[in-house]
Amino acid sequence: MTPDAPARRDETHRTALVNDPKVRRIALQALLIILLSFAAYSAVKNVATNLANQRISSGFGFLSQTAGFGISQALIPWSETMTYARAYMVGLVNTMLVSAVAILLSTIFGFAVGIARLAPNFIISQLARWYVELVRNLPLLFQILFWYLAILAAMPPPRSALNILGSVFLSQRGLTLPQPVIQPGAAILGVAALAVLAAAVMIVRWSRLRRERTGFGMPRRVSLGLSALAIASLVAVFLLAGAPLQLDAPQQGRFNLSGGVTMMPEFAAFAIALTFYSAANIGEIVRAGIQGVGKGQTEAGRSLGLRAGSILRLITIPQAMRIIIPMLTSMYLNIVKNSSLGVSIGYPDLVSVGGTILNNTGQAIEVIAMWMATYLTISIATSLFMNWYNARIALVSR
Amino acid sequence: MTIAFVQGEPLSPMRPPNMDVGPLRWLRREVFSSPMQGIATAAGAYVAYLLISSFIDFAIVRAVWQGSSRAACSDVPYQVGACWPFIWAKLGQLTYGFYPADERWRVNLVFVAALILLIPLSMPRAPYKLPNAIAFFGVLPVFAYGFLYGGSIITPWLSVTSVVFTVAAVISLALHAMRLNEQANLQPLRFGAIAVAMVLGYALSGVLNSPRFAPGMEFALLSGAGAATFEALLDRRASRMKWGAYGLLAAAIALTFAAAANAPFLEEPSLRVVPTSQWGGLFVTLVVATTGIVASLPIGIVLALARRSDATVLRFAAITFIEVVRGVPLITILFFATYMLPLFLERSPDAMVRVLVGISLFAGAYMAETVRGGLQAIGSGQHEAAAALGLNYGQATGLIVLPQALRLVIPGIVNSFIGLVKETTLVSIVAIFDLLGGLRSAFADPNWTAPSTLYTGFAYAGMIYFVLCFMISTYSKRLEERLRVDHRT
């Protein structure tokens, strides 16, 4: 029973420095930093030697040089005498265009597929199911090549182009659509349309507030009458302003199609493939979302006397959206990332144009860094937007 | 008062109306429940009939089965469906690429070996899971490398054995150091002796260095472990210091095997070297997919653990890597691996190796997020229980947390394999000829340019991809159901 016994035990069994978790953590991280910096150092050293051997100067100076190559589709003005930076921007715009088209179309089509998969009708749901199975189990690149090489390249020449719905033509040259032609006076129509829209929004809000306050909604006759009035007034403005907005429908001539706007086959094939591929995935997301809403919700809606359509619109879909939105976000990001596959068929997207720049200048590091930075920016911006939207519709828990 | 009749037993239930049983019920409820449904059914049935009949028409009825050039498929009076002779003619190229014809048995052998190991591995009831997994993930890659690439048959095995024993020696020395750490006296001296011995060993190995053989690592370990063993012998409690001896043994074996791997007389039983530029077709698709699958799991586990670690630098590095890789398209990663990686290294690795590195890193980053999902599902009670039992981080992670977490995410892991199989097609953009690349070059053959060969080629490749992915996804669904049942008990 000596009073200094505990002290002596401490002395013999003192924790060694190596066993102190704090010291260990710091040592581990220091080691990691040393390793990483050594790797970075040797990489930089090798890059310097290799670039010197290949006589390539690093840096982004090449961006202001003249590009000197043609780009088959440019939404912003482009000529061969412009700079590499401009070429990169042309590619970026093309990437954005095909992503936007694919996102829009695949969302519409994907929701249809998802709802069709859950349809009570056996044949419809099986058709939707096998569409999803087929498309999801084939590589996207395979589908792009299929649409490009086997479908669009096998289309008839323009003089005997395939006619869809009267004014849409499919030929070797791509997809030709009617083009809206804006004439002077269209501004009045635009203002009128905005005014009608604003009035409609205000009336709907007022009616909803009134229903919440008094319990009386707007009678069906009144709402139908108001809609008719809105359409009639727009038509009147359109006629009074001298029909300032017209569709330039393509005409089938003897040798070629005239008029309309033609999308090059690369774009058409790529957009179609990307749309079908993404729609199958969105269909699965929608199905998962709808199935994620408890069956009790539908039954409760039915016992309240709601019709099937109202149950879907008022009860199922708003709840399903909470499950769908986060998954849809990553799907949209996937579409943007998949839009890089256009390079395989020569669609002049970011990767395709960047690849040409890379081959012309040999500036591999700079071009790849620019790609990564661009895609990361798009990814982050999309996630931020979708997170904001998700927060808006998320369940408010009290 | 007499009771006229008493029902002794319950009446059997009445038969439902004839319209509400069997196929009639199915027709009424699911097919023709309303006029609109009836129309939809009819339209759907018509579309289904069109699709199925035109496929059969294409693939069988109007197909050409024999011939030796495009004439067989284009000079036919009727509209031709599939041109199967095109596939027969290109089968070798689509399967093996430009792999020399008389060496293709090697590819077949590796494929059969992989299948023999994979089938019992994927059957839940088959025994010997651990040896099977070691054979598939550890032994098969060496075997496949030796056979597919060629060169000496024995040397790869010797090199791998040497590496395994080098790692064992490092672990033994580390364990010895931990034991030393528990003893109070003369610690700095003992650590110092081992460190000095290692440096001396490394310097000594310079004498033996040749361009072919540089055993610096093995020599350093050998002398370090020798010093450790010597100390242990001097110590009174030698029984506690066995790890030094084990390290010595392992380092000696590693050195022997490393030397043997470089012995000229073992070069001989050798296979013809087939450079990877001659690889192609379905075989490359499978090699890339399998490498991605095998490599992504360890990379993913390490990244996921790093992302959840307390060490700020480590966590930050892992998050940056994962998010950057997941935020950019695979094709930019492949461009990175093909064009940028050679600049970072002193010697540029083989084109196939670069692509495999790119695919593995990409798959690893996605796998990390899958594994992290599993790690997050394990309650903190498990960590605390492990800590209470006195387990250190490695033991707690390896024995308690990871087995449970990985079990939870097995379906997710299998699902990500489907994505990987589909994504292997991207390697054709960076000039590796996988199945799709082989298909494109087959289309370019002027001997076979006919419209029907295009459709035939796509039908053939499509069936292969579809069967591959569909099998994995069906397997994943079954696995998911099985695991879910297990968790209910």
| pLDDT tens, position by position, B207-263 | 766 666 667 777 788 888 888 887 777 766 655 567 788 888 888 888 888 888 877
A193 in any annotated domain: yes
Same-domain check for residues B147 and B163: no
pLDDT at res. B285 = 92
pLDDT of A292-331, one tens digit each?
888 889 899 999 999 888 888 888 888 888 888 888 888 9
Domain endpoint, select from A205, A240, A275: A240
Same-domain check for residues B392 and B440: yes
Q: How many CB pairs under 8 A join A and B?
A: 159
Same-domain check for residues B254 and B296: no
A298 in any annotated domain: yes
- Is A138 near chain B, with CB under 8 Å? yes
Which of B303, B328, B439 to mutate: most A Cβ within 10 Å?
A: B328
Same-domain check for residues B209 and B307: no
Strand partners, A177: A261
- Residue A19: pLDDT band (50, 70, 90) is low
The residue-averaged pLDDT of B281-295 equals 91
Same-domain check for residues B475 and B407: yes
B478 in any annotated domain: yes
- Is A96 near chain B, with CB under 8 Å? no
In the predicted model, is pLDDT for residue B450 greater than 60? yes
Query: Residue A385's Cα: distance from chain center in Å?
Result: 12
Same-domain check for residues B351 and B481: yes
Q: Which of A325-329, A349-353, B263-267, B397-401 has the lowest mean pLDDT?
A: B263-267
**Whether B29 and A120 lie within 8 Å, measured CB to CB:** yes
Same-domain check for residues B325 and B406: yes
Same-domain check for residues A287 and A385: yes
> Taking a contact as any Cβ pair under 8 Å apart, which residues of chain A between 103 and 122 contact chain B?
119-122
B222 in any annotated domain: yes
Same-domain check for residues A123 and A88: yes
B194 in any annotated domain: yes
Report the share of chain A in percent with pLDDT over 90. Answer: 25
Same-domain check for residues A319 and A367: yes
> Taking a contact as any Cβ pair under 8 Å apart, which residues of chain A between 320 and 379 contact chain B?
337-338, 340-341, 343-344, 351, 355, 358, 364-365, 368, 371-372, 375-376, 379
Strand partners, A245: A182
What does DSSP say about strands A245-248 and B270-271: parallel, antiparallel, or unpaired? unpaired
pLDDT at res. A16 = 60
B40 in any annotated domain: no
**Whether B336 and A368 lie within 8 Å, measured CB to CB:** yes
Same-domain check for residues B145 and B237: no
CATH label of the domain that carries residue B387? 1.10.3720.10
- Is residue B340 within 8 Å of residue B386, measured between CB atoms? no
Same-domain check for residues B203 and B314: no
Same-domain check for residues A224 and A268: no
Q: How far is Cα B378 from Cα B390, in angstroms, rounded to an integer?
A: 19
A50 in any annotated domain: no
Chain A residues with CB-CB distance to B331 below 8 A: 340-341, 343, 351
Domain count, chain A: 2
Highest mean pLDDT out of A9-13, A261-265, B94-98? B94-98
pLDDT at res. A5 = 45
Same-domain check for residues B391 and B434: yes
Domain endpoint, select from B246, B271, B296: B271
Q: Which helix (H) or strand (E) holds B167?
A: helix B155-181
**Whether A124 and B343 lie within 8 Å, measured CB to CB:** no
In the predicted model, is pLDDT for residue A49 greater than 90? no
Same-domain check for residues A285 and A211: no
Q: How far is Cα B311 from Cα B308, in angstroms, rounded to an integer?
A: 9
Domain endpoint, select from B271, B294, B320: B271
B78 in any annotated domain: no
pLDDT at res. A100 = 92
A287 in any annotated domain: yes
Tell which residue, A258, A195, A338, has the closest CA to residue B423: A338
Tell which residue, B392, B385, B458, B447, has the closest CA to residue B425: B458
pLDDT of B49-86, one tens digit each?
999 998 898 888 888 888 777 777 777 777 778 888 88
A213 in any annotated domain: yes
The residue-averaged pLDDT of A67-77 equals 79
- Residue A395: pLDDT band (50, 70, 90) is low
- Nearest residue of A to residue B314 by CA position? A29
- Nearest residue of B to residue A351 by CA position? B332
- Residue A396: pLDDT band (50, 70, 90) is low
- Enumerate the H helices of chain A as residue ranges: 5-12, 21-54, 84-117, 122-136, 140-145, 186-214, 220-240, 265-292, 295-303, 308-310, 317-338, 350-361, 364-393
Strand partners, B83: B64
Tell which residue, B446, B462, B432, B358, has the closest CA to residue B97: B432
Longest dimension (CA), chain A: 115
In the predicted model, is pLDDT for residue A130 greater than 50? yes
More confident residue, A393 or A44: A44
Same-domain check for residues A139 and A281: yes
More confident residue, B462 or B152: B462
Domain count, chain B: 2
> Taking a contact as any Cβ pair under 8 Å apart, which residues of chain B between 294 and 323 contact chain A?
310-314, 317
**Whether A150 and B454 lie within 8 Å, measured CB to CB:** yes
pLDDT at res. B282 = 92
Strand partners, B152: B270
The residue-averaged pLDDT of B134-148 equals 87
Same-domain check for residues A89 and A232: no
Domain endpoint, select from A178, A207, A240: A240
- Domain extent at residue B342: 91-152+278-488
B36 in any annotated domain: no
Kindly report the nearest CA distance between residue B440 and chain A, in angstroms.
9
Q: How far is Cα A52 from Cα A49, in angstroms, rounded to an integer?
A: 5
B286 in any annotated domain: yes
Tell which residue, A278, A289, A373, A389, has the closest CA to residue A333: A278
In the predicted model, is pLDDT for residue A259 greater than 80? no
Same-domain check for residues A209 and A284: no
> Taking a contact as any Cβ pair under 8 Å apart, which residues of chain B between 339 and 368 contact chain A?
339-340, 342-346
DSSP symbol at A257: E
Same-domain check for residues B373 and B224: no
pLDDT at res. B63 = 84
Strand partners, A83: A66
The residue-averaged pLDDT of A330-340 equals 90
Same-domain check for residues A280 and A386: yes
Kindly report the nearest CA distance between residue A349 and chain B, in angstroms.
13
Among B313, B331, B346, select the one facing A32 at the smallest CB separation. B313
- Assigned token pair, A298: 């539908």
Highest mean pLDDT out of A121-125, A283-287, A383-387? A283-287
- Mean pLDDT score of chain B: 84
In the predicted model, is pLDDT for residue B423 greater than 80? yes
Number of Cα atoms under 13 Å in the Cβ half of residue B52:
8
Kindly report the nearest CA distance between residue A391 and chain B, in angstroms.
22
In the predicted model, is pLDDT for residue A7 greater than 60? no
Contacts 24+ apart (CB under 8 A), A106-110: A106/A274, A106/A275, A106/A276, A106/A277, A106/A278, A106/A279, A106/A282, A106/A335, A107/A282, A107/A328, A109/A275, A109/A276, A109/A279, A109/A282, A110/A278, A110/A279, A110/A280, A110/A281, A110/A282, A110/A283, A110/A285, A110/A286
Same-domain check for residues A276 and A331: yes
Same-domain check for residues B142 and B160: no
More confident residue, A156 or A109: A109
pLDDT of A352-376, one tens digit each?
999 888 888 888 888 999 999 999 9
- Nearest residue of A to residue B338 by CA position? A364
Same-domain check for residues A138 and A199: no
Which of B24, B194, B425 to mutate: most A Cβ within 10 Å?
A: B425
Is the Cα dihedral B8, B10, B11, B12 positive or negative? Answer: negative
Report the share of chain A in percent with pLDDT over 70. Answer: 93
Domain endpoint, select from B229, B245, B271: B271
Main-chain dihedrals φ then ψ at residue A250, nearest 5 degrees: -65, 140
**Whether A120 and B340 lie within 8 Å, measured CB to CB:** no
More confident residue, B160 or A8: B160
The residue-averaged pLDDT of B120-136 equals 85
Q: Which helix (H) or strand (E) holds A263?
A: strand A261-263
DSSP symbol at B273: -
At residue A280's C-alpha, the angle toward residues A276 and A281, to 5°, is 120
A11 in any annotated domain: no
In the predicted model, is pLDDT for residue A8 greater than 60? no
Strand partners, A181: A246
The residue-averaged pLDDT of A137-158 equals 87
- Domain extent at residue A233: 186-240
A398 in any annotated domain: no
B23 in any annotated domain: no
- Is B370 near chain A, with CB under 8 Å? no
Same-domain check for residues A233 and A297: no
In the predicted model, is pLDDT for residue B19 greater than 90? no
A64 in any annotated domain: no
